[in-house]
């Protein structure tokens, strides 16, 4: 047992420097992405692409501090595949999210149809939403049914992240465009079926990856990790600033409400 404890601590220590390195790069890319929102600067979309890739790398580095790296990588792979397949099917059939088409700004496409960023967005949204949910539910982690509540809260946070993302992606950056549906209710042009579909897909994905993200051996109580909360709120802040600069005030107000409420509950839970 002492050997196992030392091994785990050594592994966690080796992950500190990659995490710091990717965090610094993430902050630089985030600053460039924010600067690129101002029209006079006329920066291309490459800072957003770099920011998305660094968000994945820093998320993996943060999770690998308390979980086996192979588990984190396999969960990342499954999320990307499942989310990508769902989006690809939607492009062909309009199900499960609603009819949409990629824009010219979406960048390279996988299989000549699927924008490369969509599977990566699924990874960032689900993994960081789950860690934020762990912060929120930290006071109840010993209670019966905690695992189910963790899945439910993760699903809600992932859907809220998509709610904040879509006006930025479809109306500001024009990465994709939504088509009409039979449902008259929309959010900034996106059908409500999109967010319902995201919730259902998140539940299905969590059903498969949750066993990989559970520590199988007992460990000492770790201090709360705010890195996933920073990534999650950073995305919502970026979306809110972009919508504000483009006069989408309803979306901006929603982003502000989502960010503030989530931050309050996460910090409150972490300090319990």
Q: What are the pLDDT digits (tens) for 191-242?
A: 999 999 999 999 999 999 999 998 776 555 678 889 899 999 999 999 999 9
> Would residue 177 count as lying in a domain?
yes
β-partners of residue 176 are 102
pTM of the model: 0.87
> Would residue 252 count as lying in a domain?
yes
> Would residue 114 count as lying in a domain?
yes
In the chain, which residues have pLDDT < 70?
1-44, 217-221
> Would residue 75 count as lying in a domain?
yes
Q: C-alpha 215: how far from its chain's center?
A: 21
Would you say 99 and 179 are in contact if contact means Cβ atoms under 8 Å apart? yes
The total of structural domains in the chain comes to 1
Residue 224's pLDDT is 85
Would you say 81 and 120 are in contact if contact means Cβ atoms under 8 Å apart? no
> Would residue 223 count as lying in a domain?
yes
Residue 11's pLDDT is 44
User: What is the domain extent for residue 240?
Assistant: 68-270
> Would residue 188 count as lying in a domain?
yes
> Would residue 136 count as lying in a domain?
yes
Residue 45's pLDDT is 72
Residue 141's pLDDT is 87
> Would residue 163 count as lying in a domain?
yes
Q: In this structure, what token pair is assigned to residue 177?
A: 């465009």
């Amino acid at each position: 047992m002492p050997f196992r404890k030392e091994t785990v601590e050594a592994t966690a220590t080796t992950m500190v420097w990659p995490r710091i390195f990717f965090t610094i790069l993430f902050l630089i890319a985030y600053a460039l992405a924010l600067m690129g929102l101002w029209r006079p600067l006329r920066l291309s979309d490459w800072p957003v692409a770099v920011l998305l890739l660094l968000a994945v790398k820093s998320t993996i580095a943060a999770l690998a501090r308390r979980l086996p790296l192979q588990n984190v990588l396999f969960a990342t792979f499954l999320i990307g595949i499942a989310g990508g397949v769902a989006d690809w099917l939607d492009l062909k059939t309009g199900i499960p999210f609603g009819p949409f088409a990629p824009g010219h700004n979406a960048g390279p496409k996988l299989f000549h149809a699927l924008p490369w960023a969509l599977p990566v967005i699924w990874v960032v949204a689900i993994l960081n939403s789950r860690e934020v949910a762990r912060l929120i539910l930290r006071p109840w982690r010993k209670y019966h049914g905690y695992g189910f509540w963790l899945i439910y809260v993760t699903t809600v946070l992932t859907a809220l992240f998509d709610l904040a993302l879509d006006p930025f992606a479809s109306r500001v950056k024009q990465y994709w465009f939504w088509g009409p549906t039979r449902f008259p209710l929309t959010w900034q042009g996106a059908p409500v079926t999109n967010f319902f579909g995201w919730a259902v897909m998140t539940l299905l994905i969590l059903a498969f990856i949750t066993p990989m993200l559970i520590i199988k051996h007992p460990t000492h109580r770790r201090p709360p990790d705010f890195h996933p909360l920073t990534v999650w709120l950073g995305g919502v802040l970026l979306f809110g600033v972009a919508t504000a600069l483009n006069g989408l005030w309803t979306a901006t107000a929603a982003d502000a409400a989502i960010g503030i409420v989530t931050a309050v509950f996460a910090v409150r839970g972490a300090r319990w």
